[in-house]
Structure formats: structure tokens, C-alpha cells
Structure 1
Amino acid sequence: MHIKHRLAASLVPLCLWAATAPAYAQLAAGQRCAVQSGPQTAALVELYSSEGCSSCPPADQRLNALRKEAGAASLVVPLALHVTYWDQIGWTDPLAQAQFDARQAELLRHQPRHVAYTPQFFVGGTELRSWDTQLPAAIRRINATAAPVNISLSATPGQGGKLLLEANASAPDAQTGGQLYVAISESGIVSTVLRGENRGATLHHDAAVRLWLGPVALAQGRARLRREVNLPASWRPEYLQVVAFVQRADSSAILQAVSTAPCAKGVL
């Protein structure tokens, strides 16, 4: 564990899984991918990591295996957000973004202990310090709760490497307050670290966040985010997923999350 402050010094095409699983439309490669959240709450798992942190690779590996470990019946949406405050130690993480530092700090404002470190896990918006033993149980607890928000999410490819993202959140109770976020993540990333604590290591990253959009506040229990994105040539569309989630307006609690993972060919 590395502390930040120390570093600074069956329907077709719409299918319904089970009562607890999201509905989704899985279309051929190159076509629109659409997903719909289900009645139970999916567990958003956020890992704050860095390629410059020697204790991060085991956490990265754990996140990479999370869907398999949690089991087919589990509803889990993993995201790896790479922070920048390790970059000064000797290795500049190509996946790191300053807005992920800010996201980590935002979550910590609502936690009992306001200490940023890597690797740091949040499940459903709550810090999970004993992630090595408690991740599956934390996911099950969240999955056992009914979701107060519904989310529909679609990714539609366009010409010239464009991707149209559309997310809609709605709550049966119009008084429900929250903020809608959308992210694009990439899996299957392989990186060879040349300097720093992980010098000489070859790292494997899944669910690494490439793009972060939002928040859009719920008004009258509804929110919509629509954005056309130009995908950089270095991003591999077949390994991309889109994630949408709603966070409570007055806390870090995640009300619902959904991803395009059921669309097996990525987003293009």
C-alpha cells in the first residue's frame, strides 16, 4: 500500500438474462451495442492504481480476474483509474490522468479516512481496504439490493472512427438525486515499464479508463448524456467497453451501474 501524501513528500434482439441480470442487445460487430440495467444493483468496482507503484500489479491482476472470480450470476462493473501522483517517482504512467486523482479525492471526502493511496479499491462508492479477502462478499451485498435507478446505455459506431454514446438514467421516484457518469475503458493493454519501482516488469491491464464524461445531474429523476467521440487510432475498438453509472448527489454511494460487456466484439 502506498499513501499519496507520503509520495508527495430471450427476445430478439433484446434478451433478458434472469431477474437479477441486465437486459441487452448483442449485435454483430460494427453495429449498435445497447444495454439496459436490471432491477438489482450492479457493483461498480473502482481501482486506483499506477504503473509506478510496486504493490499495484497484484491489485491490477485481481481486477482483471474479477468477473470470473465473482461468478456468472454476479453483477459487477470494474474500472481501473490510473493516477498521476506516482509519475514524479521515475515512470510516467501512459494511462494516468489528473482527473482520476480528482475522482479519488472526491470519493475520499465521503469516507471515514481521507487518505489517498495505491492500490485503493472502492466498491459501490465505499472504500474497501481488505480487498484481498472481502471483494466477493462486498459485491454480493450490493447485488442483493434493489436499484433505485434504471440506466440504458448504447454505443453506435460511425464513420471515421467515431462512436456515438448515449446514456439515459431514470428513477421511479422523481425526488431521487444523483449524477450520471459515462466512461470508456480498454482491456488487454500490455505495458513494459522501463523505470521506477516496476522497472523491467511487463504489466497487463483490463478495464483501464480512457475517457471520463460527466457528471450530468438528475432533474425530476432523469438525466441524459449524449456525446460523439473520436476514437484515437491507438485505442483498439474490439477491446473497448462503455460504462454508465449514477452516484448519489449527497454521498459517494453508487445507485446503479451498467456496461457494454455483453457485446462480445467491443464497441465497433
Structure 2
Amino acid sequence: MVVSMKPIAFLIVACSASVTIPAYAGASCEANSGVATAALVELYTSEGCSSCPPADKQLSQLKQQVGAAAVIVPLALHVSYWDAIGWKDPFAQKAFDQRQSQLLANRKNRIVYTPQFFVNGNELRAWRTDLPRTIKDINAKAAPLGISLKTMSTDANQFVITADVKPYAKSVSGALYVALSESALVSHVLRGENSGVTLQHDDTVRAWFGPIPLRQGGAHLQQRITIPAEWKRQHLQAVAFVQDDANGNVLQAVSTAQCNQTRG
């Protein structure tokens, strides 16, 4: 259950590399996962898909639907396989096509489609009705590990992101992933199934780091990132999660979205 994006580099040791990609911006932030398991909700979507806007809206409204106490880490991953049907999704990446397929590699159902929801690595077809209950069930379980996710501004155009994984009790196997996403995006679609529609997107993945294999249950990533001027810094966030290699289940997740004071 692994996918990596090139040429993005990642480091397992305590050092850093510099890359120029869109980034979580703004002030310094430290987010720590709790003892409860967070629900990582992945939506595979496309601006070329007429049935996707309701799913995009569902993802954006999860907090309101489930309640403020719920621990939710949402990600919208735009796939590229709709691009040839009249409208090229500006947020689509082929790496997300690959991850969507790999999430289904060891499952009975191996059909990829949009909109398609996964919660902690498992497909949820009845997302219109079952997302709140599924999230609450996941939150009721104790997590086997903790994740610390930090961002620190170094100057007006750069920041450093650091993620650390520590097991709570016994060592666990899996891999660490880090994503950077942006909310409050607006697109005016000119062609394809959504021609003439203005779409709004939240938690849209812009960049992806990983997998970084756990070693004795732990992992470390530190990355220096240059921030392009055109990005709306106040709407960007970083996400870290750990996924079990054996069964594809997500063991824990955390987001820096809680540090954004001007989101919306």
C-alpha cells in the first residue's frame, strides 16, 4: 500500500533537503495525535466528474455532520483519468490514481471510480449515510502509536515540516506519509460534465511525501519547503498518517488544520 511522488524527496534521518513545491504556510504549529484513533477520510474525486461535487461538499461538511468532538483528517485527492473527457483537472496527479488503485489491491472490490471514499484505508460505498457512524467507531478505538507534526517558518518564503512517529506500547510495522493540502479553492469549469459550474474544494492534496518505513515502530521526517507566492497561505495545512503495510489500514493520523485561524 505504498506510493511516492517524484521528484519530491524525503528524509528518514534528522537532516533536511530543499524543494520548491506548494506548502503549508503561515506561523509555526505543533499538532499531536491523541490516544484515540483519528479517522483519515480520503475522497478520490475529479472536476471532470458530474457526480463528484456532492461528495466534495460532504467532505467539507464532515465536522458539522459528525460534531466538533470527532477526530477527522480529511483529504481530497484529485485523479487524472477524467482529464481526457473534456476538462483537465488542475489539481489532479497521476500519483493519486496509483494510490487509489493500491488501496484496493488486497480487497475484494478492485474497481476504482469517482467519487470514492476510503476511511482509514477501507472503502466506504455508503458514504452518504454511513460516514458519521464509521468515523465515530474509529474514534472509539485506541491508537497503537502517536504522531507529532510540526511546522516552523524560517523566513517569508520557507518553512520546515517535521513529523515523528512513536509507538505507545509494542513496536508496530507500517509507513509514514505526509501530505500538504489547500482549502477554500474555487474553480470555474469551462468544459466537460461540469461545464459552466463553479466548484469549491477543501482539503485538496497538493503534495505527497512517503512512504517512510517505520523502524522499531518509529519514523522521522524533516523537510524544508519553499512557498510559491500565489498560494493562499492561510488555507494550507499539513497532514501526517501511518499506514499498516500488511493490510492497508491507517493506524493514526494528525493535521495542522487546527492551527489555521483564518480558514474559511
Q: Please report the TM-score for the alignment, with normalisation by the length of structure 2.
A: 0.88
Residue 73 of structure 1 aligns with an amino acid whose one-letter code is: A
Q: Which of 196, 200, 206 is equivalent to 2:196?
A: 200
Q: Secondary structure at the match of 2:258?
A: coil
Q: 2:191, 2:260 → 1: CA distance?
A: 35
Q: What's the CA shift for 1:198?
A: 0.3
CA distance in 1: counterparts of 2:99 and 2:189, whole angstroms: 25
Larger mean Cα displacement after TM superposition, 168-177 or 182-191: 168-177
Choose which of 63, 67, 76 in structure 2 pairs with 1:67.
63
Higher RCO (Cα < 8 Å, 6 or more apart): 2
User: Which residue number corresponds to residue 264 of structure 1?
Assistant: 260
Match of 2:95 in 1: 99
d(CA) in 1 for partners of 2:27 and 2:192? 42
Three-state SS of the structure 1 residue aligned to 2:257 is coil
Indicate the percent of aligned positions where both proteins have the same amino acid.
Answer: 53
- The one-letter code matched in structure 2 to 1:225 is L
Can you list the C-alpha shifts for 1:69-92, whole angstroms capped at 9, x where unaligned? Answer: 110110000000000000000100
Distance in 2 separating the partners of 1:156 and 1:129: 38
Which residue of the other structure, out of 76, 82, 87, is the alignment partner of 2:78?
Answer: 82
- Given candidates 210, 217, 238, the residue that maps to 1:221 is 217
Counterpart CA distance in 2 for 1:210 and 1:148 is: 28
Show structure 1 runs of 4+ deviating over 6 A. Answer: none
Paired amino acid for 2:57: Q
Of 148, 152, 157, the residue aligned with 2:148 is 152
Runs of 5+ unmatched residues, structure 1: 1-28
Question: Displacement of 1:246 after TM fit?
Answer: 0.3
Unaligned residue ranges in structure 2 (runs of 5+): 1-24
TM-score, reference length from structure 1 = 0.86
Q: Per-residue deviation at 1:257? A: 0.3
Question: Partner of 2:238 in structure 1?
Answer: 242
Cα deviation for residue 160 of structure 1 reads 4.2
How many equivalent residue pairs?
239
Please give the secondary structure, in 1, of the residue aligned with 2:143.
coil
Amino acid at match of 2:150: S
Deviations along 1:186-212, one digit per CA (max 9) or x if unpaired, are 000000000000000000000000111
Q: CA deviation at 1:163?
A: 1.9
* Secondary structure of 2:80 counterpart: coil
